[in-house]
Amino acid sequence: MLKGKVAVVTGGSRGIGAAICKLLAENGADIAFLYAGNTQKAEETQKALEALGVKAKGYRCNVTDATQVAAVVKEIAADFGGIHILVNNAGITKDKLVPMMKAEDFDSVVDTNLKGAFYMIKSVYPLFLKQKSGKIVNVSSVSGLIGNPGQANYSASKAGMIGLTKSVAKELASRGVCCNAIAPGFIQTEMAEAFTGNEEIKNAIPMKRFGQVEEVAKLVLFLVSDASDYITGEVIRIDGGMAM
Amino acid sequence: MVFEKVAAMLAEKLECEVSEIKMDTKFEALGIDSLDVMELLMNVEEEFGTEIELGENKVNAVGDLVALIEGKLQ
């Protein structure tokens, strides 16, 4: 399905990002993934992807640093001979009620989740514009759609990603580039350990279960494949019905 | 020299005569939008082997682009 395509996935060494890398690789895409700091984990991810018979490489990059991002995207394009797919998945949380939330807590979450996505898009933009094709998927969150107590920073960053998605979609629609967002609900990952044992939360989900990373990856696969060529600027919830 | 190259690139893109493109020709009048200008700029970068930041510069007419490139090449 994705043979000959090069996918860049941020936050690709763990959780949802790792599942996305795996599924895209299983479908034939070469994978360049960005990771923040866990080199050992990244090496494991790279080996697992290579075992699927595709080219794969992890790049250590702080997505909040515009210069680093520009350099790494250039390096990836040279290493892989191009870029066709970008998945902005890197994200952090620093949950606190507003009175306890320091300005730094707000900034760091917005910097990674929102500005990181912007820097990545800015760096692939000329490539996509020139090749007149490309798929961008921004991993937002239902928290960005309906808010969540303790997540003023995270919700703001994820809502911001939706605006970013729609503007980029409009800018590049005439050039054959699609830009969409997904809004996962409660997905079983390390990052979500705090709530996955919580029965009350589970019961608030119409499907009465948490989502799996593989389910999110399947949605991303759809959005980066030609099955979704006429879809752009869309936000698709994947939340067991929680935010409807 | 820069102008001739830019004019040739534009003429090729627009499938028109090079003579139709003057320094004071507005991109808008050529039916070229801001993304087209960006694309043109990327082609110029390749052609001249230089990186050009649009930055705050307003590029409304062919001459604006030519001036930008010439400034970079000096």
For residue range A209-231, what is the model confidence (pLDDT) as tens digits?
A: 999 999 999 999 999 999 999 99
Is A30 in a helix, a strand, or coil? strand
Angle at which helix A152-172 crosses helix A116-131, to 10 degrees, equals 10
Is A85 in a helix, a strand, or coil? strand
pLDDT class of A140 with cuts at 50, 70, 90: very high
Domains of chain A: 6-238 (3.40.50.720)
The ipTM value here is 0.78
For residue range A156-199, what is the model confidence (pLDDT) as tens digits?
A: 999 999 999 999 999 999 999 999 999 999 999 887 777 777 88
For residue range A92-113, what is the model confidence (pLDDT) as tens digits?
A: 999 999 999 999 999 999 999 9
The 10 Å Cβ neighbour count of residue A36 is 18
A183, A187, A189, A192 alpha-carbon torsion, rounded to 10°: 90
| B39/A171 CB distance under 8 A | no
Q: Residue A117: which of A149, A151, A144 has the closest Cα?
A: A144
Measured between alpha carbons, how far is B74 from B70 in angstroms, rounded to an integer?
A: 6
Measured between alpha carbons, how far is A32 from A51 in angstroms, rounded to an integer?
A: 15
CB of A237 closer than 8 Å to CB of A244: yes
User: Which residues lie closer than 8 Å to A55 by C-beta, 6 or more apart?
Assistant: A30, A31, A80
Does A139 score more than 90 pLDDT? yes
Does B39 score more than 90 pLDDT? no
Residue type, A136: I
For residue range B1-23, what is the model confidence (pLDDT) as tens digits?
A: 889 988 998 998 889 999 989 99
pTM to 2 decimal places: 0.93
Residues of chain A contacting residue B39, judged by C-beta atoms under 8 Å apart: 129-130
For residue range A11-31, what is the model confidence (pLDDT) as tens digits?
A: 999 999 999 999 999 999 999
Q: How far is CA A171 from the centre of its chain?
A: 20
Q: A138: which strand partners?
A: A88, A181
Closest-CA distance, B37 to chain A, in angstroms, reads 11
Is A220 in a helix, a strand, or coil? helix
Q: Who among A126, A172, A175 is closest to B42 (CB)?
A: A126
Q: A26: which strand partners?
A: none
Q: Which residue of B has its CA nearest to A173?
A: B35
pLDDT of residue B46: 83
Dihedral angle sign, alpha carbons of residues A168, A169, A175, A178: positive
Closest-CA distance, A86 to chain B, in angstroms, reads 20
Does B73 score more than 90 pLDDT? no
Q: Which residue of B has its CA nearest to A129?
A: B39
Domains of chain B: 2-73 (1.10.1200.10)
Helices (H), A30-102: 39-50, 66-80
Q: Token digits for B49? A: 């082997």
Mean pLDDT of A26-37: 96
| B35/A175 CB distance under 8 A | yes
| B42/A175 CB distance under 8 A | no
Residues, chain A: 244
The 10 Å Cβ neighbour count of residue A112 is 22
Gyration radius from chain B CA atoms = 11
Measured between alpha carbons, how far is A152 from A200 in angstroms, rounded to an integer?
A: 21
- If interface means Cβ-Cβ distance under 8 Å, which residues of chain B face chain A? 35, 38-39, 42
